[in-house]
Amino acid sequence: MNAKLKRANNLLAISRHYLPKELLIQIYYGQFYSHLTYGCQLWGQNQEQIYQTMTLQKKAVRLMTFSYHLAHSNNLFKELKVLKLTDIISLHNILFTHNALNNKTPAIFKEYFKSKQTFYRQFSQNSKFSIPKGSLEIPKYKTKPGQLSIKFICSTEWNQIHRQLSINHFEKYSENENWLQSLSQNSLKHLLKLHFLESY
């Protein structure tokens, strides 16, 4: 895959001298992003193994913005409204969890995730350590392979994003504890992208 990403960067390096930024972004999504997303839930869970791929993605945003080859990339991702690879993987993990919770996945994933039955204390907008209702049980894996499993990572990331977004949208959470699960996939995807971009 990285060989394909290098070719995509070569295309961006040539095209940027002739095309406006809007078309460069279209090339990025067609020639670069499409490879990043294909199967990313399988190959992208171990951050140690995707370092080179992340480096190639940073090079892509630097090329599109005519930035110095060692320029800090956070502002560039935000400027282009492009998600980092780690957030792309998280996005797919959360959308998969959302589909499973709404019975929109194959039958093998029915009841794959279980709602958490106990909470540290009542969740509130200012509570730092409480766990909101709507959170999931985290599988008790002690080994690293277990903690790199889809089930473990998806449950963990769902809980993290559920808490963060419930704090930011506390009125919605107060009206419906499962508000995140109740969103349409497109609405959730849009909300997640904004959330990730704001963190850059």
Give the residues across from 136 on adjacent strands.
Answer: 115
User: Taking a C-beta distance cutoff of 8 angstroms, is the pair 36, 24 a contact?
Assistant: no
The domain locations on the chain are: 2-81, 89-198
**pLDDT at site 185:** 95
**pLDDT at site 48:** 77
**pLDDT at site 47:** 78
User: Taking a C-beta distance cutoff of 8 angstroms, is the pair 195, 164 a contact?
Assistant: yes
Q: Where in the chain does DSSP place strands (E)?
A: none
**pLDDT tens digits, 18-71:** 999 999 999 999 999 999 999 999 898 877 789 999 999 999 999 999 999 999
Query: 16 by DSSP, 3-state: which?
Result: coil
Query: 122 by DSSP, 3-state: which?
Result: coil
**pLDDT tens digits, 115-152:** 887 655 566 666 655 778 889 999 888 888 888 899 99
Higher pLDDT, 86 or 122: 86
Q: What is the DSSP string of 166-192?
A: HHHTHHHHHH-TTHHHHS-HHHHHHHH
* Average pLDDT over the chain, rounded to an integer: 91
**Stated pTM of the model:** 0.91
